[in-house]
Amino acid sequence: MKTNTNAAALLVEATREQNEAVCLVGRTHDNALIEWLLLSPKIRQQLSEKLRDIEVTVFPKETPGLATLRSDPEFRRILSKGLKLNRGDQGAKGNSRPFKGTPYDVVSILTNVTLAEGESIKPYRGLAIELDFGDAN
């Protein structure tokens, strides 16, 4: 997540071998590529617990913001439905925003960026999800 100082803070981590997330890939009726990131119930629960335990002053001042959405049941429901991923539209920054233009626009999915804890992540939304597709990207 992004802190109030725009620094990266690790909340939850999982490796490929743990099978805690899956990326579904398909095509629309117009043959356009579509991808969805699905997080396991275990990862979503860990994320909810970590967010709930963080002091409100640690969250970045954004609208919409994680400080408010962390306890919103609707936000947890939409996370459980999956996160639309647009690797082709991300540009050099590798930033996909699955909820852009909605009241839940707090998520950035990063696919060609490696974050280090404490590193500045100012351009990204409050909840940054880093994915490593390895050679598949």
Instruction: Please state, in angstroms and as integers, the Cα–Cα distance from residue 94 to each residue in 10, 52, 60, 88, 129, following that order.
Output: 18, 28, 21, 9, 11
Q: Is residue 60 part of a domain?
A: yes
- Residue 135, pLDDT score: 56
Task: Tell me whether residue 6 is in a domain.
Answer: no
The reply to whether 5 falls in a domain is no
For the chain, the domain total comes to 1
What range does the domain containing 76 cover? 16-136
Q: Is residue 33 part of a domain?
A: yes
Residue 76 belongs to some domain of the structure: yes
Give pLDDT, residue 98: 93
The reported pLDDT for the residue numbered 88 is 60
The residue type of 57 is T
Neighbours of 112 (CB within 10 A): 16
Sheet holding 83-85, edge to edge: 21-27, 33-39, 83-85
Closest Cα to residue 105, out of 124, 86, 122? 124
Q: What's the average pLDDT block by block, 10 residues per block, for the chain (137 residues)?
A: 96 90 92 91 94 93 90 93 77 76 93 89 93 66
**pLDDT at 137 (0 to 100):** 44
pTM exceeding the 0.75 threshold for the entire prediction: yes
